[in-house]
Chain A
Amino acid sequence: QVQLQESGPGLVKPSETLSLSCTVSGGSISSYYWTWIRQPPGKGLEWIGHISYSGITNYSPSLRRRATISVDTSKNQFSLKLTSVTATDTAVYFCARGYSYGPGLGFDYWGQGILVTVS
């Protein structure tokens, strides 16, 4: 059974960099699209971006200039860095596995989420 687990600081100061990791267990990280999604308190889901099994990244246009997603296959981990954070970046951050079914993606496994507060 594939499991994902987010880790990182729960509190980040404004203007600093948010850094999160997602550890994948029960499966290889050498396939699929490894994705970050966030959800501000009481609001909807926002796709941040993903890194493919071949190392190609794809980011939301609204976050492209501040977000970086990387993968460490030796640790079965992928990571998110978000620079210059403000209070609007306060959210629960989820990591997820993206499964390609042709032209689309389905996120079939999710981490439990980690609340990051910018204050």
Chain B
Amino acid sequence: SSELTQDPAVSVALGQTVRITCQGDSLRIYYVSWYQQKPGQAPVLVIFGKNNRPSGIPDRFSGSRSGNTASLTITGAQAEDEADYYCMSRDSSGNHYVFGSGTTVTV
């Protein structure tokens, strides 16, 4: 099992807001990066650090952290946001990296 726990699936109505969470002890110290993956494609970085978006990522994607939980929020979800989302951070030792178990978002 992953050291970073995510809900397996969430659904959101078109135009509404959805929050995807990632829990792990290491998140009390380290930030996560978030990845969007559509079927048959490589993942795409959508958020890294405190709340940074790479160039080209819409501003409806935002990140936050509280305690041992990191969140990715999609405000005004679009049909094209339907995908799997993975968090990634350091493991509990702080020496290696680990992905969360992934969340399937249905719009």
Contact = CB atoms under 8 A, between A and B. Distances in A.
Indicate whether A and B interact.
yes
Interface of A: 37, 44-47, 50, 58-61, 94, 99, 101-108, 110-113
Given A44-B102, A101-B52, A111 B42 contact: yes
B99 A58 contact: no
Interface string B4-20: 00000000000000000
Interface band, chain B = 20 to 34
A104 B2 contact: no
Most buried by B among A44, A50, A102, A108: A44
B49 interface: yes
A92 to B, nearest CB: 9
Contacts of A110: 42-44
A44 B35 contact: no
B88 A107 contact: yes
Contacts, number: 70
B86 A45 contact: yes
Nearest to A104: B31
Interface in B30-78: 30-33, 35, 37, 42-45, 48-49, 52, 54
